[in-house]
Chain A
Amino acid sequence: MSTETVDAAIVRPPLAQLGSSRAAILALRLGSIIVPLLLWELGARLGWINTFLFPPPSKILATLWSQSGPNGNPPWAIPIHVGRSLIRLLAGVALAVVIGTIAGVVIGLNRWARAILRPIISALMPVPTLAWTPVLLLVMGIDDRTTIFVVFLAAVFEMIYTIVAGIEMMNVKLFWVAESMGATRLQIFVRVIIPAIFPYLITGMRLGTGYAWRALIAAEMLAASSFGLGFMIYDASEYMNMDVIYGGVMLIAVLGFLLENVLIGRLESATTEKWGVQNER
């Protein structure tokens, strides 16, 4: 579990504990992103750095802008690339959440399932997710199915592990109470287990989405035939189109940041606080 826990700590940078005013902090934070970009721009304009390898940020943004519009190649290229990547991510993560939750609950509650599945899962976990890509390519072809399956594999083990951890943290008495009041298995699952593991589910989703996003970009480079951000930057490297590559990398960074910190963070605070359960972390 140790690597996952560290990742959890990594994706959530603590607020800088500066004593000074908020405005100064904000200026400092914005500056840390804007100043390097300005230096880069200046260096490129004044010819201090190689503009082929480091095109100025203004040019990169201009390329991103023109590629996002009807004059792109193909038209509306950037929205399509982003959309395709997000759809693949969503499909893979959704699959991983559903299957991971079911598998996690079964492993957590059933002694036999645990004895049989745990070793198999811990044997599969250390395989780098992307190593499956060539095999999947042979089975499924250059296709959305391959990328979605890689995303699924990247997220599912994390889901299973966190859900099992959540079930192990549950109090046995909860089951006794529910059972003695005559709850059916389905009722126990919906009313007792799901609320109890919910914080873990969200944590698993956050970690899983992080892994999935990394895997998706690489999988798109290896296995996407037409669209997706990973495909976009890899394709651009074959034409040595540096603006598009840098633009894509920037988009990937911003989207990854938004996915991990904003979207899942919101989901986390909205659900765990509303449900009145505290996450361990």
Chain B
Amino acid sequence: MSQVVAVTDPAANRAQPDPEKRSPRFGTAFVAFMLPIIGLLVLWEIAVRSGLADATILPAPSMIAERAWTLLDPTHPGHGPLLGHIAVSLWRALASFVLACLVAIPIGFLLGLSPTAYGAFSPLLSLLLPLPAVAWTPIFLVAFGQGDLTIIAVCFLGAFFPVLYSTIQGVRGIGRHSLWVVYAMGATPLDVFHRVLLPGALPALISGLKLGMAHSWRTLVAAEMLAALTHGLGFMIFAARSYMDVSTMFVGIVCLAVIGMLIEHAVFGPLEAITIRRWHATGKVGGQR
């Protein structure tokens, strides 16, 4: 049971601070949050301008911003390649994430419902779980060559295991008694799935989805560096290395961080809040005992 609590708890906490956000203090908190970052950027800029830091290795924030602007400019010879890189990266990450969910969630429900199947597969899972998804890259490189297929396959594996594991934990966290009760009241299997299993497993499932997307995004960078032919943020960063173009690398790093953060907070944050608020009571009754 402790595993399940660990999975659901942070999500439940996340749902709570919402009312505070609307209070006027949010503005001050935001300023207090941004101030050190801005201060660091200013110091960095000064260090580069005064020659303390080597601009060829650590370009100033203004140079990075300028490079980002050039990379976005559609009149530029490369037709503003940055947006293209971002779009390709997002497409790959999303495709592999969706595929991983389509495969992992049904398997997770099956393994979660059958203790025998779970017992049989858990050693294999615990061996494959700590295996870095990037380690599969050489195999896919030989099998598929460089390109989208290899990258998507690697990211798929990156997202697959977190989603699978959270689904299993979520389903296993649902008490056997609540299943018995619902069956005894004459529910069909479909009812049980819809009214008990899904709401009960949902908090863990959403955490798993979030984790899976985060893993997929993080794996993507490495996979793109190793296997991309033309596009993608990872490719952009790694290709910039050949030209010693550090500004472009930093543009890529900032994009990766910002998009990763947006996915986590702007997509999964609200999703978590909605689902948990809506099903929290059900989750408690069905999930805890």
Contact = CB atoms under 8 A, between A and B. Distances in A.
Contacts of B125: 13
Interface string B132-143: 111111110111
A2 B122 contact: no
Interface residues of A, number: 74
Contacts of B190: none
15 contacts: A2-B11, A3-B210, A5-B9, A9-B6, A9-B7, A32-B122, A53-B143, A128-B218, A128-B260, A214-B132, A218-B132, A237-B138, A237-B142, A249-B135, A256-B131
Chain B contact residues (Cβ within 8 angstroms of A): what range?
Answer: 35 or more
B234 A131 contact: yes
A252 B131 contact: yes
A208 interface: no
B234 A253 contact: no
B33 A128 contact: no
A33 B124 contact: yes
Contacts of A257: 126-127, 130
A131 B142 contact: no
A131 B235 CA distance: 10
B123 interface: yes
Contact of A115 (B36, B252, B258): B36
B6 A123 contact: no
A149 interface: no
A234 B123 contact: no
Interface stretch (A66-74, A92-100, A134-142, A186-194): A134-142
Interface of B: 2-4, 6-7, 9-11, 13-14, 32-37, 39-40, 57, 115-116, 118-139, 141-143, 161-162, 165-166, 169, 207-208, 210-211, 214, 217-218, 220-222, 225-226, 234, 237-238, 240-241, 244, 246, 249-250, 252-253, 256-258, 260-261, 264
A182 interface: no
Given A2-B10, A25-B119, A126-B260, A12 B139 contact: no
Contacts of A12: 3
Contact of B129 (A11, A32, A217): A11
Contacts of B240: 134
A32 B123 contact: yes
Interface of A: 1-3, 5-14, 16-18, 25, 28-33, 36, 53, 115-120, 123-124, 126-135, 137-139, 210, 213-215, 217-218, 221-222, 230, 233-234, 236-237, 240, 242, 245-246, 248-249, 252-254, 256-257, 259-261, 281
Given A13-B125, A252-B131, A253-B131, A135 B246 contact: yes
A32 B121 contact: yes
B101 to A, nearest CB: 16
A240 to B, nearest CB: 5
Contact of A230 (B133, B135, B208, B234): B135
Nearest to B40: A120
B138 A2 contact: no
Contact of A7 (B132, B137, B211): B211
Contact of B134 (A218, A236, A259): A218
A119 B169 CA distance: 33
A137 B241 contact: yes
